[in-house]
């Protein structure tokens, strides 16, 4: 049995995965804020899954954690996980000290890429396009995470696609993330609604021209991200996940529409079958926790 | 001894490579135009290297060919090699028939990526950015070509970076290739000079404002291509090759200048050390022929 934990901004998902890679147990906890509370959340998740499975921490074949921010998978060091109140944290070392066993730490998008690839039974080259607060992709090749030389492979959110676009937090202009991410939408469509992107879609449906324009740019930004991934790493499948993916089939339909429009003016793009490569992550699947359980397995 | 042939638009380079991977022999022939003449050129190259090494075709450990266009490395089928007068050609099969041994065929940019990576002794993830008539990259991981799911990994020339940019031959607007390729320069700076890009640089040096603007866009386009490669496949080194790389240190200096400018406004980009990753392919090295000799070795 393997154990995987996905520490998110407000909630923590944790799963136990059996020998065959199937989900055996799944729990959810609120995430604490700050260094000590984040460590306690992870310890509590291991303890609770230990009760459900009857296993001590050392009884699991492996324990892995997915967490936002800059993660050094070798050392277990986490930096810049702003939503969790973490500047720098030796998460791997601290958890190993508390649990008495080694713990693997991975960036949550990379963990989700591995989990989604496993859950959907995808082989070969797979990209997982995460549309959360920011935009980033995780790449999986033959069932293994592809990190690149310095761990930034797939950081496509900061690729500019319009020199006259809005200023991005990264200091560049017109990055993909300014079009197609939670933060990009929030900047264009300020609202108190707890689900800002659903509010945007509702306003677009009511015919609000500003909302329609923002929703259209969102679809174009996602389509452009798919094009970037295909023309660089050439994945057979691009799985769309993250908070914005809860918009579901409607979002997918709009992205397909943009891709089909492009095909009408570019025979080159048409030859790539971009629409046929895109799919949504199954709603409600704990892909990042699942991936965290599998990180380092292969 | 392995044999590699690089069939270019006007000339064909061919090399014999010894057990240690070092260049043993090197020849150059004019390339014939059209199906029959291209096959004859390759046969002549094998024959000439056979005389120099004393080996019959079957005496080489392997024979590989790099050629422009869409290449199916499995079948040896070549399509759309317009400059060679080839629409469709079963090059692998025809050469095997003529020579009595199997021949591997690969796209010339991919072969050059493998050759450059080998020549420079680069390990890990390497990108070779080819600036020829078009723009494309070849990606090498741990000494092996990375083709992606459908063989189009690295086709970054057709990534748009400006929605208001010029129309590209692919049907999109503002593709990287419209800024940073021989065809992109030719469209902006028509000339009868046999070395159009050198003529452009000379005019820019004389202070011609149009030439200076085009040369500046060239450097920005190359810098943007480096950024795309780093934020997707994260190579430790991006080797710049192809016809435009003959501009040498001056071109590299201008690209470095753009990358350093970007670092001043984006701490994120500064953290990636883009300037430190870029280098030129050694002038005059037959990297595509060398790579063709090594294709399929590993």
Concatenated DSSP letters of B47-111: HHHHHHHT--GGGSSEEEEEESSEEETTTTEEEEEGGGTEEEE-HHHHHHHHHSS--EEEEHHHH
Q: Which residue has the higher pLDDT, A148 or B81?
A: A148
Query: Is A131 an interface residue toward B (CB < 8 Å)?
Result: no
How, if at all, do strands B237-241 and A11-17 pair? unpaired
The CA distance from B272 to the nearest CA of chain A, in Å, is 8
Please write the tens of the pLDDT for every residue from B165-212: 999 999 999 999 999 999 999 999 999 998 899 999 999 999 999 999
A 237-296 residues with CB below 8 A of B? 262, 265-269, 272
Distances (CA, A) of B89 to A262, B105, B111, B152, B154: 30, 11, 19, 19, 23
pLDDT for res A81: 83
Identical topology for domains B2-108 and B121-280: yes
Closest by CA to B291, choosing from B1, B2, B12, is B2
Q: Which residue has the higher pLDDT, A274 or B296?
A: A274
- The size of chain B, in residues, is 298
How, if at all, do strands A135-141 and A144-146 pair? antiparallel
The CA distance from A30 to the nearest CA of chain B, in Å, is 31
Query: Is A110 an interface residue toward B (CB < 8 Å)?
Result: no
CB contact under 8 A, B159 and A267: no
Domain limits, chain B: 2-108, 121-280
In chain A, which residues have their Cβ closer than 8 Å to the Cβ of B152? 230-231, 234, 272
Which of A233, A235, A236 to mutate: most B Cβ within 10 Å? A233
Which of B123, B148, B221 to mutate: most A Cβ within 10 Å? B148
Please write the tens of the pLDDT for every residue from A223-260: 999 999 999 999 999 999 999 999 999 999 999 999 99
Lowest mean pLDDT among A52-66, B71-85, B145-159, B171-185: B71-85
pLDDT surpassing 60 at residue B257? yes
CB contact under 8 A, A156 and B232: yes
Query: Is B147 an interface residue toward A (CB < 8 Å)?
Result: yes
Residue pair A28/A13 in contact by the 8 Å Cβ criterion? yes
Helices (H), chain B: 35-53, 91-99, 108-119, 176-179, 182-188, 196-205, 209-232, 249-265, 267-270, 274-277, 287-294
The rounded distance, in Å, linking the Cα atoms of A88 and A69 is 10
CB contact under 8 A, B170 and A269: yes
pLDDT surpassing 60 at residue B4? yes
pLDDT surpassing 50 at residue A298? no
CATH 3.40.50.720 fits A113-280, yes or no: no
- What topology is assigned to B121-280 in CATH? Nucleotidyltransferase; domain 5 (3.30.420)
Please write the tens of the pLDDT for every residue from A3-36: 999 999 889 999 999 999 899 999 999 999 999 9
pLDDT for res B130: 97
Tell me the percentage of chain A whose pLDDT exceeds 70.
99
| CATH number of the B2-108 domain | 3.30.420.40
Can you tell me the mean pLDDT for B49-77?
95
- What topology is assigned to A2-102 in CATH? Nucleotidyltransferase; domain 5 (3.30.420)
Residue in A153, A228, A262 nearest the CB of B159: A228
Residue pair B261/B224 in contact by the 8 Å Cβ criterion? no
State chain B's mean pLDDT as an integer.
Answer: 95
Residue in A150, A164, A233 nearest the CB of B153: A233
pLDDT for res B297: 63
The rounded distance, in Å, linking the Cα atoms of A148 and B231 is 9
Can you tell me the mean pLDDT for B48-69?
96
The CA distance from B101 to the nearest CA of chain A, in Å, is 31
In chain B, which residues have their Cβ closer than 8 Å to the Cβ of A231? 152, 154-156, 158-159
The CA distance from B212 to the nearest CA of chain A, in Å, is 19
Can you tell me the mean pLDDT for A263-278?
96
CB contact under 8 A, B152 and A236: no
pLDDT surpassing 80 at residue A296? no
CB contact under 8 A, A148 and B235: yes
pLDDT for res B132: 93
CB contact under 8 A, A233 and B233: yes
pLDDT surpassing 80 at residue B275? yes
The CA distance from B198 to the nearest CA of chain A, in Å, is 28
pLDDT surpassing 60 at residue B16? yes
Which of A263, A266, A269 to mutate: most B Cβ within 10 Å? A266
Closest by CA to B262, choosing from B277, B250, B274, is B274
pLDDT surpassing 80 at residue A297? no
The CA distance from A235 to the nearest CA of chain B, in Å, is 6
pLDDT for res A83: 82
> Taking CA A143 as the corner, what is the angle to CA A139 and CA A144, rounded to the nearest 5 degrees?
60
pLDDT surpassing 50 at residue B298? no
pLDDT for res B87: 87
In chain B, which residues have their Cβ closer than 8 Å to the Cβ of A233? 148, 153, 232-233
In chain A, which residues have their Cβ closer than 8 Å to the Cβ of B226? none
CB contact under 8 A, B149 and A235: yes
Residue pair A104/A64 in contact by the 8 Å Cβ criterion? yes
Contacts of B144 (CB under 8 A, 6+ apart): B298
Rounded to the nearest 10 degrees, the angle between the axes of helix A209-232 and helix A249-265 is 70
């Amino acid at each position: 049995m393997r154990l995987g934990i996905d520490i998110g901004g407000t909630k923590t998902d944790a799963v136990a995965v059996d020998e065959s890679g199937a989900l055996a147990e799944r729990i959810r906890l609120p995430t604490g804020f700050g260094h000590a509370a984040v460590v306690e959340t992870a310890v509590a998740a291991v303890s609770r899954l230990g009760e459900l499975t009857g296993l001590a921490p050392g009884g699991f074949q492996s324990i892995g954690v997915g967490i936002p921010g800059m993660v050094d998978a070798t050392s277990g060091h986490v930096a810049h996980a702003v939503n969790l109140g973490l500047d720098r944290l030796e998460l791997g070392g601290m958890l190993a000290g508390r649990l008495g066993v080694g713990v693997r730490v991975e960036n949550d998008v990379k963990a989700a890429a591995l989990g989604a690839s496993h859950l959907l039974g995808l082989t070969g080259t797979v990209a997982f396009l995460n549309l959360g607060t920011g935009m980033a992709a995780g790449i999986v090749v033959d069932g293994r995470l592809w990190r690149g030389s310095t761990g930034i492979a797939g950081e496509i959110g900061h690729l500019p696609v319009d020199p006259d676009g809005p200023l991005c937090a990264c200091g560049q202009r017109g990055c993909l993330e300014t079009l197609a991410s939670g933060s990009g939408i929030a900047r264009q469509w300020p609202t108190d609604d707890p689900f800002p992107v659903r509010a945007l879609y509702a306003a677009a449906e009511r015919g609000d021209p500003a909302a329609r324009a923002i929703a259209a740019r969102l679809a174009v930004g996602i389509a452009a991200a798919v094009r970037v991934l295909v023309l660089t790493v050439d994945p057979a499948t691009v799985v769309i996940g993250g908070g914005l993916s809860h918009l579901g089939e409607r979002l997918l339909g709009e992205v397909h529409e943009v891709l089909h429009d492009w095909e009408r003016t570019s025979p080159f793009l048409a030859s790539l079958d971009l629409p046929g490569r895109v799919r949504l992550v199954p709603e409600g699947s704990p892909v990042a926790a699942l991936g965290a359980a599998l990180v380092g397995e292969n």
